[in-house]
């Protein structure tokens, strides 16, 4: 037991004994005992009253003084008070530091609650998104950023890792927005200024488009002269071989220019309209005919159109996707092999698959297939006359249809290219676009 408590017990006992002894002189020992208890009770109530007053009025003020056990209790309260002050000071310091560091962030950060309402944002977020500290607190983020892609991104539960949109009210600034869920349903919106890389990509795209455009006219002239020279009977026989080679190269260059222009066009715009429904059966039939005519090789096609649902999008772009995939399947597989094309749909979307029994693709090459001019060593060895742009075109055309390309392959066994279309790009019946060919 702490000595204070021992002393208190002794003091209380001594007081009671003294009171009882004095009262006993008058033959009133019991009243003496009651009087002693009343004195002690009054003394404790007085100290409790002082403590309650102190707690009620100002906890930061000086503590009331107390004797005996009260000095012990008050000393403990004082120690707790000091400790609480210290930890509050530490927390305030930490919060200040966090605030200062988030202020210095070049990227924006906005804390959203489970209803997507703004709780707070840092300085960069206010600058990039044009938020106002007091005005926008508690406002839903999609009431302030109304870009359809951002709204869709929020709706999809952030399936994509990020979305790129122009800054609200400033089309010259491009932002990459990413939403990260945390805690109990809260979300953190991270915003990065990507204007510079968007401008660079635009410059590169414009350069490719302009250069290809400028190459078209001289190429037409060269091809014209080459055609005329080939048909000229007076041309010495020694020129026949070189002329054939020159015409083949001019044709290849023509295809390159055409593919580069197509790619630049696909890259320059985001998703395409859903206004028209395109029949998959038709585009597959047209692609098979076109490929057999241009590649001039016999192949056995197996076509399984399991659904009559159509794709909502651009007929020419969808045609280009299927033609490129079937052309690759034919060019990178042996003559006696089968090329399978299938189309199926369900409530989760549509799947267009092109499968071949060809040379296959190394696992290391798979992630790079859709890069411009990327060709595998096996493809180069076959000396196929491709431009190396076909799958880049497929990727961009699919992106404009909010679709994805998935490739699986085994070297020497064959490859499977699957185009996955989301459910909102699939339509049953209505407005089938008639394609030429
Ligand atoms: P290319 O004009 O060279 O065919 P693509 O962009 O269409 O260009 O294809 C890029 C590369 O991907 C090809 O060069 C080839 O190496 C590989 N590839 C594409 N499709 C297939 C396939 N079905 N089988 C094997 N390799 C393929």
Closest CA to 321 of 270, 261, 379, 262: 262
> What pLDDT sits at residue 433?
46
Ligand 1 first shell, C-beta below 6 A? 324, 328-329, 332, 356, 358-359, 361, 369, 374-376, 379, 386-392, 415
pLDDT score at 289: 92
pLDDT band at 435 (very low <50, low <70, confident <90, very high): very low
- What CATH architecture does domain 199-267 belong to? Orthogonal Bundle (1.10)
Spatial separation of the C-alpha atoms in residues 239 and 340, rounded to whole Å: 43
DSSP states along 159-176: -SS-EEEEETTEEEEEEE
Under the banding of pLDDT at 50, 70 and 90, the label for residue 385 is confident
Contacts with 391 (C-beta within 8 Å, 6 or more apart), sequence order: 324, 328, 369, 370, 405
Instruction: With cut-offs at 50, 70 and 90, classify the pLDDT of residue 277.
Output: very high
Q: What is the mean pLDDT of the chain?
A: 89
pTM greater than 0.85 (yes/no): no
38 CA → ligand 1 middle, Å: 101
- Find out whether 48 and 64 touch, Cβ atoms under 8 Å: no
User: For residue 375, how far is its CA from the centre of ligand 1 (angstroms)?
Assistant: 6
Contacts of 427 (CB under 8 A, 6+ apart): 277, 309, 310, 311, 312
Q: 83-120 pLDDT, tens per residue? A: 998 999 999 999 999 888 888 888 999 999 999 999 98
User: Residue 357's closest CA among 415, 298, 284, 296?
Assistant: 415
What would the two tokens of residue 171 be?
Answer: 């089309």
Model confidence at 195: pLDDT above 90: yes
Pocket test residue of 299, 326, 332 for ligand 1, highest count of atoms within 8 A of CB = 332
Please compute the mean of the pLDDT values over residues 1-23 and round it to a whole number: 90
User: Which residue's C-alpha comes closest to atom 23 of ligand 1?
Assistant: 329
Predicted confidence band of residue 60 (pLDDT cuts 50, 70, 90): low
Distances (CA, A) of 5 to 9, 33, 76, 207: 6, 21, 14, 90
Pick the atom of ligand 1 nearest to 356's CA: 23
Distance of CA 346 to the CA centre of its chain: 26
pLDDT at 434: 45
- Between the CA of 400 and the centroid of ligand 1 the distance, in Å, is 21
- Number of neighbours of residue 121 by Cβ within 10 angstroms: 24
| pLDDT winner (highest mean) among 102-111, 267-276, 325-334 | 325-334
294 pLDDT more than 50: yes
pLDDT over 50 at 430, yes or no: no
* Contact assessment for residue 260 and residue 252, using Cβ atoms and an 8 Å cutoff: no
Q: Which residue has the tokens 């002189």?
A: 25
Question: What is the position in ligand 1's atom list of the atom closest to the CA of 417?
Answer: 23
Backbone Cα Rg of the chain: 41
Architecture of domain 277-436: 2-Layer Sandwich (3.30)
Could you give the angle at the alpha carbon of 275 between the alpha carbons of 316 and 396, nearest 5°?
Answer: 45
Index of the ligand 1 atom closest to the CA of residue 359: 25
Ligand 1 atom with the smallest distance to the CA of 385 is 2
Instruction: Specify the residue with its C-alpha closest to ligand 1, atom 8.
Output: 388
Query: From the CB of residue 28, how many other CB atoms can be counted at a distance below 10 Å?
Result: 14
The predicted pLDDT at position 31 comes to 94
Task: Name the closest-CA residue to atom 18, ligand 1.
Answer: 328
pLDDT at 188: 93
Nearest CA to ligand 1 atom 21: 328
Distance 324 CA to ligand 1 centre (A): 9
Residue 255 CB partners (closer than 8 Å, separation 6+): 387
Please state the φ and ψ torsions of residue 164, each to the nearest 5 degrees: -110, 125
Give yes or no for a contact between 128 and 170, defined as CB atoms under 8 angstroms apart.
no
Considering only CA atoms, which residue is closest to atom 20 of ligand 1?
328
Structure confidence at residue 405 (pLDDT): 97
Residue boundaries of the structural domains of the chain? 3-99, 105-193, 199-267, 277-436
Indicate the top mutation candidate among 375, 383, 392, 393 to test ligand 1's pocket, ranked by most ligand atoms within 8 A of CB.
Answer: 375
How far is it, in rounded angstroms, from Cα 245 to Cα 191? 53
Does residue 345 sit in helix, strand or coil?
Answer: strand
Q: Could you give the residue ranges of the DSSP H alpha helices within 26-147?
A: 29-57, 68-104, 123-129, 133-136, 141-144
The confidence score (pLDDT) of residue 106 equals: 87
Q: What angle do CA 89, 90, 91 make, to 5 degrees?
A: 90
Model confidence at 171, pLDDT cuts 50, 70, 90, reads confident
State whether residue 6 is helix, strand or coil: helix
Report the pLDDT averaged over residues 74-78. 84
Say how many Å lie between the CA of residue 274 and the centre of ligand 1: 29
User: Ligand 1 centre from 309 Cα, in Å?
Assistant: 29
Task: Give the C-alpha separation, 182 to 98, whole Å.
Answer: 18
Q: Which of 48-52, 374-378, 429-433 has the lowest mean pLDDT?
A: 429-433
**Residue 295 exposure: Cα atoms within 13 Å on the Cβ side:** 24
Fold of the CATH domain 105-193: Beta-Lactamase (3.30.450)
**What atom in ligand 1 is closest to the CA of residue 324?**
7
Residue whose C-alpha is closest to residue 305's, from 281, 323, 339, 283:
281
Q: What is the pLDDT of residue 59?
A: 56
pLDDT tens for residues 224-242? 999 999 999 898 989 999 9
pLDDT band at 152 (very low <50, low <70, confident <90, very high): confident
Q: Which residue owns the Cα nearest ligand 1 atom 4? A: 386
Distance of CA 266 to the CA centre of its chain: 22
> Residue 198: which of 170, 165, 168 has the closest Cα?
165
Average pLDDT over residues 34-44: 94
Ligand 1: distance of its center to the CA of 391 in Å? Answer: 7
Question: What confidence category does residue 403 fall into, taking pLDDT thresholds of 50, 70 and 90?
Answer: very high
Query: 275 with 424: CB under 8 angstroms?
Result: no
Measured in Å, residue 328 CA sits from the centre of ligand 1 at 6
* C-alpha span between 313 and 144 (Å, rounded): 29
pLDDT for 432: 43
- Convert the pLDDT of each residue in 339-380 to its tens digit: 999 999 999 999 999 999 999 999 999 999 999 999 998 887
Residue 188 class from Cβ within 10 Å (0-12 exposed, 13-18 middle, 19+ buried)? Answer: middle
Task: Please count the CA atoms within 13 angstroms of the CA of 301 that sit on its side-chain side.
Answer: 21
- Is pLDDT larger for residue 273 or for residue 431? 273
Residue 5 Cα to ligand 1 midpoint, Å, equals 90
């Amino acid at each position: 037991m702490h000595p204070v408590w021992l002393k208190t017990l002794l003091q209380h006992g001594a007081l009671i004994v003294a009171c009882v002894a004095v009262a006993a002189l008058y033959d009133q020992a019991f009243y003496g005992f009651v009087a002693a208890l009343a004195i002690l009770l009054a003394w404790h109530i007085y100290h409790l009253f002082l403590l309650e007053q102190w707690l009620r009025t100002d906890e930061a003020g000086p503590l009331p003084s107390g004797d005996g056990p009260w000095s012990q209790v008050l000393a403990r309260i004082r120690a707790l008070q000091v400790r609480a002050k210290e930890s509050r000071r530490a927390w305030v310091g930490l919060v200040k530091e966090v605030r200062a560091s988030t202020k210095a962030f070049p990227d924006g950060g906005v804390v959203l609650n489970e209803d997507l309402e703004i709780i707070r944002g840092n300085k960069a977020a206010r600058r990039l998104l044009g938020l106002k500290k007091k005005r926008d607190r508690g406002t839903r983020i999609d009431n302030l950023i109304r870009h359809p892609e951002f709204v869709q991104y929020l709706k999809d539960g952030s399936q994509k890792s990020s979305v790129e949109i122009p800054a609200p009210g400033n089309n010259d600034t491009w932002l990459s927005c990413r939403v990260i869920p945390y805690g109990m349903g809260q979300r953190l919106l991270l915003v990065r200024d990507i204007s510079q890389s968007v401008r660079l990509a635009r410059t590169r795209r414009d350069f490719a488009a302009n250069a290809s455009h400028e190459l078209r006219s001289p190429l037409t002239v060269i091809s014209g002269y080459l055609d005329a020279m080939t048909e000229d009977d007076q041309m010495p026989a020694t020129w026949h071989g070189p002329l054939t080679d020159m015409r083949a190269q001019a044709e290849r260059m023509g295809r390159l220019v055409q593919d580069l222009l197509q790619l630049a066009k696909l890259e320059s715009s985001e998703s395409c309209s859903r206004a028209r429904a395109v029949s998959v059966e038709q585009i597959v039939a047209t692609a098979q005919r076109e490929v057999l005519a241009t590649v001039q090789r016999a192949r056995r096609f197996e076509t399984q159109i399991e659904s009559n649902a159509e794709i909502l999008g651009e007929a020419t772009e969808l045609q280009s996707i299927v033609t490129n995939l079937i052309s690759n399947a034919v060019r990178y597989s042996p003559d006696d092999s089968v090329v399978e094309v299938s189309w199926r749909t369900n409530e989760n979307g549509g799947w267009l698959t092109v499968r071949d029994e060809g040379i296959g693709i190394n696992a290391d090459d798979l992630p790079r297939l859709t890069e411009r001019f990327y060709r595998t060593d096996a493809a180069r060895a076959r000396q196929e006359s491709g431009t190396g742009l076909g799958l880049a075109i497929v990727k961009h055309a699919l992106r404009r249809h909010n679709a994805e390309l998935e490739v699986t392959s085994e070297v020497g066994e064959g490859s499977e290219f699957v185009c996955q279309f989301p459910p909102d790009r699939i339509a049953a019946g209505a407005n089938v676009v008639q394609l030429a060919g």
